[in-house]
Amino acid sequence: MLGVFLQETHSITTLGLNSNSYIRGVMNKALGPEKGNSLVDRLMSNDGVNGLESLKWMDANTIAEMVKKEHPQVIAVVLGFLESEHAAEVISELPTRLQTDVIIRLSSAEGVQSEALLELNNILDDAAITSSVSSSDMGGVKTAADILNLVQGGVDQDILSGIDKMYPDLKQQIEDQMFVFADLVDIDDRGVQTMLRDIPTERLVLALKGADEIIKDKFVSNMSKRAAEMMLEDMEVMPPVKLSEVEDAQKEILVIVRKLADDGTIALGGAGGEEYV
């Protein structure tokens, strides 16, 4: 952890001298005052973080190794506690036999009582829960949909197929909440032009491979004539690619789009988007 690192380096380097102020300044310049101060305060509030809170700082593979032998309901709680992108990475690391069961339990959850959270926290670490989590913060169809939106390599479709065999209505509810690549057609032209500044051209070319013409036209019509011609030429000469590679590129673009939407830079339309009147 950052606190431990600073303590150990204090005696051997000048990094430890007034390091809190230095790191706060660097974070503020990189992230802005609000996000920078929030992150530094969170890192330096204790010598370390415990239990559930510590999961947010672990890589996906480590978390998967920790929880894969736990009951699927426990794993569902863990996924609901994490950010969607982080949770998507974790579920991709879980054994295939667990993935569908965990998502079913996550999507069926209406919340987790504080006593259950405390018990889970104690399983992960013998300390009192350090984060402010309420039952309304995790679980439900929308949470499951947000996670599946970000799962790559075709794992999302495998999970949905598994759910469909047991609970077709639940599968439909999840799909109704998912924001998929085809929904980009509902974003206004100004939003698409903003997206194009952040999307790597080579990933867009791959993502549009085999996509419906209406989606291709949406992007092409918002490019300069030269940029559109170059992209279409690249698509023409591109050799056959695996469907999973196309889907992964599409999901990478969706991650970018969702971040722009979360920042308020663009407004999403279509499935899972907010309606305007």
- Cβ contact 257:268 at 8 Å: yes
What is the residue-wise DSSP string for 170-191? HHHHHHHH---GGGGGGS-HHH
Q: Is the pLDDT of residue 12 over 60?
A: no
Q: Encoding tokens for residue 52?
A: 């559930």
Cα within 13 Å of Cα(107), Cβ side: 27
Looking at residue 40, its pLDDT comes to 58
Cα within 13 Å of Cα(130), Cβ side: 18
pLDDT 10s digits, 53-66: 777 778 888 888 88
Q: Is the pLDDT of residue 275 over 60?
A: no
Which pairs count as long-range contacts for 229-233, CB under 8 Å and 24+ apart, including other chains?
231/201, 231/204, 231/205
Distance from C-alpha of 62 to C-alpha of 55, rounded to nearest angstrom: 9
Q: For residue 103, which of 58, 179, 55, 157 has the smallest C-alpha distance?
A: 157
Looking at residue 149, its pLDDT comes to 82
Distance from C-alpha of 118 to C-alpha of 277, rounded to nearest angstrom: 43
- Cβ contact 9:16 at 8 Å: yes
Cβ neighbours for 112, distance < 8 A, ≥ 6 positions apart = 77, 80, 135, 138, 139
Q: Dihedral of CA 226/232/236/238: which sign?
A: positive
Q: Is the pLDDT of residue 209 over 90?
A: no
Q: Which CATH number fits domain 181-262: 1.10.220.30, 1.20.200.10, 3.40.50.720, 3.40.50.1370?
A: 1.10.220.30
* The domains spanning 53-177 and 181-262 adopt the same CATH topology: yes
- Cβ contact 220:232 at 8 Å: yes
- The top-scoring range by mean pLDDT among 6-20, 37-51, 129-143, 160-174 is 160-174
Q: Give percent of the chain with pLDDT exceeding 70.
A: 68
Q: How many residues does the chain have?
A: 277
Q: Is the pLDDT of residue 70 over 90?
A: no
Look at 252 and 115; give whichever has higher pLDDT: 252
Q: Is the pLDDT of residue 147 over 60?
A: yes
- Cβ contact 47:1 at 8 Å: yes
Looking at residue 150, its pLDDT comes to 80
- Cβ contact 13:6 at 8 Å: no
Encoded amino acid at 151, one letter: V
Q: Could you tell me the residue ranges of all domains in the chain?
A: 2-48, 53-177, 181-262
Looking at residue 97, its pLDDT comes to 86
Looking at residue 36, its pLDDT comes to 63
Q: Encoding tokens for residue 29?
A: 């310049």
> The domain 53-177: what is its CATH number?
1.10.220.30
